[in-house]
């Protein structure tokens, strides 16, 4: 039934392969199946061997205008493991954004100080705007509720590692499917593979209709449910997500749904899940994933977070024309 969406991930440009959107990593929609697999195999190389020195003399500029722990630090770790250096904007409250500087001006300035930029910003589309004006590669580290492509590459890398393959799996998503950018990117990425997708959320946090249309147009089989225990026995991967409190326009709406779908050991035992089920989460978790799962074979979310390093090593090396 797929892979249906023929987006060119790899264009020939100036004699070498160009990654993603004009050499930047902005949206997973800019990657077809081959482009995704190329990133995953480069990440596997990065993990298998020491590539120290590959990016020697190169500088990664990190601009995080929203909170981050894993993404920012694993980008920095990846760059350092390749022998490059990191120039971090730091707390945006202490920058000229506070004086009213525009994002475009700030991007132009930071681009003059580094070779590649990783940007996290609350506005959907901020990374694409940055890529248009930076004059060097931009990697989207999350733009509002829109996309988080580097998380998706590490999610796919993790799925392939823990399950051996991506095709043929039933992947369940639970939690905030409306505002969760990691969900949006991964749902699109899985349309490049032969996967069934199951969405579990409260009705007001369901997958946006535009994304469901994309699935339908791609001929992808999916189902929606509000009954987690009912679907759990069918799943190969359960992708749990945090309710994105910061994206709710109305706190009362958040209060109504917070705490929905808590996953713990008792739930898994009560509904007879597959032994091979693996539970993923982009982290941070709040109360949706009980710590009593952490030492079960189902839990792979800490390994998933560690996989951010080789995957970001691969992406940095690729956008800089070194892999």
Active-site option among 2, 22, 45, 70:
70
Map the footprint of ligand NCD across residues 61-80, applying CB under 6 A.
Answer: 70-71
- The Cα 259–Cα 290 span in angstroms is 12
CB of 70 to ligand NCD, least distance (A): 5
- Give the phi and the psi of residue 29 in degrees, each rounded to 5: -65, -20
Strand partners, 237: 171, 278
Binds ligand NCD by CB under 6 A, chosen from 73, 87, 103, 283: 283
Query: Which residue, 179 or 193, has its beta carbon nearer to ligand NCD?
Result: 179
267 alpha-carbon distance from chain centroid: 27
What is the phi/psi pair of residue 63, to 5°?
-125, 105
304 binds ligand NCD (CB under 6 A): no
Subset of residues 82 to 111 that bind ligand NCD, contact rule: CB under 6 A: none
Work out which of 282, 309, 311, 313 binds ligand NCD, going by CB under 6 A.
282
Q: Answer whether 280's CB lies under 8 Å from 307's CB.
A: no
Q: How many residues bind ligand NCD (CB under 6 A)?
A: 11
| Site for ligand NCD contains 247 (CB under 6 A) | no
Q: Respond yes or no: is residue 121 known to be catalytic.
A: no
182 touches ligand NCD (CB under 6 A): yes
| 278 is a catalytic site residue | no
- Active-site position among 33, 148, 181, 278: 148
- The answer to whether residue 312 is catalytic is no
Give the length of the chain: 323
Task: Give the H/E segment covering residue 157.
Answer: helix 149-163
Q: What is the DSSP string of 252-319?
A: HHHHHHTT-S-B-HHHHHHTT--TT-EEE--S--SSSB-GGGTTSTTB-HHHHHHTHHHHHHHHHHHH
Q: How far is the CB of 83 from ligand NCD (least distance, A)?
A: 25
Residues serving a catalytic function are 70-71, 99, 120, 148
The binding site for ligand NCD (CB under 6 A) comprises 70-71, 142, 148, 151, 181-182, 242, 244, 282-283
């Amino acid at each position: 039934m797929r892979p249906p969406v023929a987006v060119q991930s790899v264009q020939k440009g100036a004699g070498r392969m160009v990654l993603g959107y004009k050499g930047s990593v902005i949206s997973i929609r800019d990657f077809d199946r081959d482009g995704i697999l190329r990133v995953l195999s480069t990440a596997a190389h990065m993990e298998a061997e020491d590539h120290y020195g590959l990016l020697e003399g190169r500088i990664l500029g990190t601009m995080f205008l929203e909170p981050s722990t894993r993404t920012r630090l694993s980008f920095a770790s990846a760059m350092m493991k390749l022998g490059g250096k990191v120039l971090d904007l730091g707390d945006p409250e202490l920058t000229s954004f506070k004086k009213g500087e525009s994002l475009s001006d700030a991007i132009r300035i930071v681009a003059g100080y580094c070779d590649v930029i990783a940007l996290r910003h609350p506005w959907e589309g901020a990374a694409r705007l940055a890529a248009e004006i930076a004059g060097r590669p931009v990697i989207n580290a999350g733009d509002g509720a829109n996309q988080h492509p580097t998380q998706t590459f590490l999610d796919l890398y993790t799925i392939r590692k823990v399950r051996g393959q991506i095709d043929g799996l039933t992947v369940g998503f639970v939690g905030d499917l409306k505002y969760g950018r990691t969900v949006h990117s991964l749902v699109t990425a899985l349309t490049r593979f032969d996967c069934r997708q199951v969405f579990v959320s409260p009705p007001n946090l369901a997958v946006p209709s535009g994304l469901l249309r994309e699935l339908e147009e791609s001929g992808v089989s999916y189902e929606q449910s509000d009954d987690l225990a009912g679907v759990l026995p069918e799943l190969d991967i359960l992708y749990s997500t945090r309710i994105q409190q910061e994206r709710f326009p109305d706190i009362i709406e958040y209060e109504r749904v917070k705490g929905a779908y808590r996953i713990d050991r008792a739930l898994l035992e009560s509904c007879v899940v597959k032994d091979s089920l693996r539970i993923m989460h982009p982290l941070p978790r709040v109360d949706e994933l009980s710590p009593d799962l952490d030492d079960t074979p189902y839990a792979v979310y800490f390994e998933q977070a560690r996989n951010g390093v080789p995957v970001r090593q691969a992406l940095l090396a690729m956008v800089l024309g070194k892999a």
